[in-house]
Structure 1
Amino acid sequence: MLLNFNYFFNRKNLVQLVLSAGIIMGVSVFLAYIITSLLGISSIGQKVILISAASPAAALAVALSVEHDLDLPLASALVAFTMAIGIIVIPLIIFL
């Protein structure tokens, strides 16, 4: 199994995860909202773009980290963490 749950309990690793997930899911949603508001995109179109921007990190990141000898535990934990956050954030975007 690629995911080690002990990775989440280390303070340094948790900071990396939260910052990475914040960049992946938070900054991209914020920028998507600003751009769609400036362009005057309709409500439904704007929600579709925001949901796409809030989507979790792709599982392909794990395969690429293995192929290029990068930080495999961080990549797999980031995919799992953003999936869990996405379960909460994406319905919020739909209902707002």
Structure 2
Amino acid sequence: MKVLIISGTTDAKAEKISKELVAGCKKRGMNEVEAVAVNLFTSDLKEMEERHNPDVIVRLTPKSLAAGKPVVDGMPLVYAFMGPDKVYNELKQYYK
């Protein structure tokens, strides 16, 4: 499964969360997950969606996104008190 992570954070933080997302997916039996992080403020969402052709988009911003693929609220990955398991449970629905 290919995940496009859209963030409004620094590139370093988005990359760290991407690696944690892949590791968290593996812990939950989703072994074939690839994550690509792009910045919401410096990238065009439609262009990134076309270029990377993800199965699902994880947003690390409270801003809603209009996308052609399913969008998962990834804010719990940034703020652990929100319960990151919600994100992984939702991703599992799209895992092939």
TM-score, normalised relative to structure 1? 0.27
Structure scoring higher RCO (CA < 8 A, sep ≥ 6) equals 1
Q: Which has the higher helix share?
A: 1
Larger radius of gyration between Structure 1 and Structure 2:
1
TM-score, normalised relative to structure 2? 0.27
Q: Which has the higher strand share?
A: 2
